[in-house]
């Protein structure tokens, strides 16, 4: 994209500090960045309809202390008759199998999968026999005695009533310490390949151990876990059934937790019903939002496949480099400057049940859609940052969209269709709970082996 910009000086007072608004005229050269790349295992599709965005849009550059946004004017809305015709056409096109849906707008070089139903639950060889390990993992997941304080369980940050997240901006750790990141949902984690926002764990087993041992989180130790569980005969029986002997080890604890978490799978949303052939499951607004998601809104570049995630890491401009909320994401775990500012693409399944959003939990859904509509912030280095190799570089997949209010409402309606029906998940009765309740001062009944 080649931008030839005519600056119109106008200074605005905008929230924090003084922001400059520049009117700009942009001429688009070439369409290489909007090329469609089809998967090799898919039949050719009909060419995508031309985008309804104007060929020479007026772009506003909104500058702030750390960077700028590019905003396209909202594209003209359809009148009632045109919208009815558009929805009728979409009903016909999306009644076909997904492989025959209209060709999406995908940038060149993006390896993508069509949206679809979740596959069958994957069962690791480590999970066999599955049911005894799942039952043991369920007990351990809700048991606060795994933590040093005796007050914090896995379910403290991954509550089934809150979409297996915790509904907080950032989670609380040991001693009510505010942790640096928002707790992602663990639903459908069986299909993930890396865990935590920065991908520092390569398996659910590894993820469980890291949380248990993290001094800011559950602040536990192998000695604490083994000693406390060994005091409870019912746990010995559960380990016997799951592993063949009653020996309790940290490795077995992590394997049982992972076996339980791999069974937390969705797939009962209205969108899943639509994919299964129930066309009425999506409202007109949600259907229009699905088409936007795949095309003009450009979401499919990163949120594709049955999980609605490419499982990769991207910089979306929210690293807050050099500011109070700075978080360099994957760089903190890999040390590779190319990873600076990158975070894992979250799954969008059940997204409306797991607010707030982004790695720092600072945004609501309306904020997120508006940010993406503006192409996300582009950071500009300050003089003392110009030669810093860690300075984050925003993903080139992010571009201003020019969606109008009806588009935004439709896109939100589609995201809402991804929500799972509310089900009550009762925490299990924990071994020895009646004899040794771990709440308040009762936590002191357990000695600290450290």
326 and 237 in a common domain: no
Helical pair 250-261 and 233-243, crossing angle rounded to 10 deg: 70
Residue 353, in any domain of the structure: yes
In a structure prediction context, what are the per-residue pLDDT tens digits for the chain, which is 450 residues long?
333 333 333 333 333 333 322 233 232 223 223 323 223 333 344 444 444 444 446 888 988 878 999 999 999 999 999 999 999 999 999 999 999 999 999 999 999 999 999 998 877 777 888 999 999 999 999 999 999 999 999 999 999 999 999 999 999 999 999 999 999 999 999 999 999 999 999 999 999 999 999 999 999 999 999 999 999 999 999 999 999 999 999 999 999 999 999 999 999 999 999 999 999 999 999 999 999 999 999 999 999 999 999 999 999 999 999 999 999 999 999 999 999 999 999 999 999 999 999 999 999 999 999 999 999 999 999 999 999 999 999 999 999 999 999 999 999 999 999 999 998 899 999 999 864 444 433 333 334 444
Residue 298, in any domain of the structure: yes
434 and 398 in a common domain: no
- pTM of the complete model: 0.84
C-alpha dihedral (305, 361, 166, 347), degrees to nearest 10:
0
Residue 3, in any domain of the structure: no
Residue 2 pLDDT: 34
- DSSP SS3 for 238: helix
* CATH value at residue 303: 1.10.760.10
* DSSP state for residue 436 in the 8-state scheme: S
275 and 294 in a common domain: yes
- Catalytic entry in 217, 285, 419, 420: 217
Q: Which domain holds residue 98?
A: 11-74+81-118+267-416
Q: Are 86 and 407 in contact (CB under 8 A)?
A: no
222 and 111 in a common domain: no
134 and 100 in a common domain: no
Q: How far apart are CA 32 and CA 12, in angstroms?
A: 35
145 and 205 in a common domain: yes
Residue 255, in any domain of the structure: yes
67 and 193 in a common domain: no
Residue 257, in any domain of the structure: yes
Residue 12 pLDDT: 32
CA distances to 43, 136, 235, 243, 377 from 247, rounded to whole Å, are 54, 13, 10, 8, 52
Residue 32 pLDDT: 29
Q: What is the pLDDT of residues 11-67, one digit of tens each?
A: 333 333 333 222 332 322 232 233 232 233 333 444 444 444 444 468 889 888 789
357 and 282 in a common domain: yes
Residue 124 pLDDT: 75
271 and 378 in a common domain: yes
Active site residue 416: no
Residue 45 pLDDT: 46
54 and 96 in a common domain: yes
376 and 290 in a common domain: yes
List, as one string, the DSSP characters of 361-426.
Answer: --B-HHHHHHHHHTT--EE---GGGTT-TT-----TT-------HHHHHHHHHHHHTTPPPP---P
| Domain total in the chain | 2
Residue 301 pLDDT: 98
Buried/exposed code over 389-419 (b: 16+ C-beta within 10 A; e: otherwise): eebbebbebbbbbbbbebbbebbbbbbbbbb
Residue 5, in any domain of the structure: no
Residue 5 pLDDT: 35
Residue 170, in any domain of the structure: yes
> How many Cβ atoms from other residues are within 10 Å of residue 175's Cβ?
11
Residue 51, in any domain of the structure: yes
204 and 86 in a common domain: no
């Amino acid at each position: 994209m080649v931008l030839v910009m005519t600056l119109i000086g106008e200074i605005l007072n905008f929230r924090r500090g003084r922001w400059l608004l520049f009117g700009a005229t942009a001429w688009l050269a070439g369409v290489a960045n909007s090329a469609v790349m089809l998967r090799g295992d898919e039949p050719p599709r009909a060419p995508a309809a031309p985008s309804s965005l104007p060929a020479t849009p007026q772009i506003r550059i909104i500058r702030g202390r750390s960077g700028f946004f590019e905003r396209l004017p909202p594209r003209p809305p359809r009148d009632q008759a045109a919208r009815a015709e558009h929805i009728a056409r979409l009903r016909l096109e999306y009644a076909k199998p997904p492989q025959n849906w209209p060709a999406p707008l995908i940038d060149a070089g993006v390896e993508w999968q069509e949206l679809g139903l979740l596959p069958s639950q994957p069962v690791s060889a480590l999970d066999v026999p599955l049911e005894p390990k799942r039952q043991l993992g369920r007990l351990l997941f809700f048991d606060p005695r795994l933590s040093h304080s005796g007050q914090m369980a896995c379910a403290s940050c991954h509550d089934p009533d809150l979409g297996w997240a915790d509904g907080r901006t950032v989670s609380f750790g040991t001693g009510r310490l505010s942790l640096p990141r928002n707790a992602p949902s663990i639903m459908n984690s069986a299909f993930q390949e890396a865990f935590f926002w920065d991908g520092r764990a390569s398996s659910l087993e590894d993820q469980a151990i890291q949380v248990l041992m993290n001094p800011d989180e559950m602040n536990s130790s192998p000695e604490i876990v083994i000693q406390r569980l060994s005091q409870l005969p019912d746990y010995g029986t559960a380990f016997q059934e799951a592993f063949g002997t009653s020996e309790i080890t940290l490795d077995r604890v992590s394997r049982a937790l992972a076996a339980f978490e791999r069974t937390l799978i969705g797939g009962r949303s209205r969108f899943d019903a639509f994919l299964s052939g129930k066309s009425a499951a999506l409202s007109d607004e949600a259907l229009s939002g699905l088409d936007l998601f795949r095309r003009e809104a450009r979401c499919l570049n990163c949120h594709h496949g049955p999980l609605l995630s490419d499982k990769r890491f991207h910089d979306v401009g929210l690293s807050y480099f050099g500011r109070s909320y700075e978080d360099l994401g994957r760089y903190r775990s890999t040390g590779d400057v190319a990873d600076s500012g990158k975070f894992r693409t979250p799954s969008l399944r059940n997204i409306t049940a797991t607010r707030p959003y982004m790695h720092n939990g600072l945004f609501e859904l309306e904020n997120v859609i508006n940010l993406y509509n503006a192409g996300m912030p582009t950071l500009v280095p300050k003089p003392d940052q110009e030669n810093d190799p860690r300075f984050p570089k925003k993903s080139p997949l992010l571009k201003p969209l020019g969606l109008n209010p009806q588009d935004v409402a439709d896109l939100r309606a589609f995201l809402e269709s991804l929500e799972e029906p509310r089900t009550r998940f009762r925490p299990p009765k924990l071994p020895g709970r009646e004899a040794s309740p771990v709440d308040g001062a009762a936590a002191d009944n357990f000695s600290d082996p450290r």
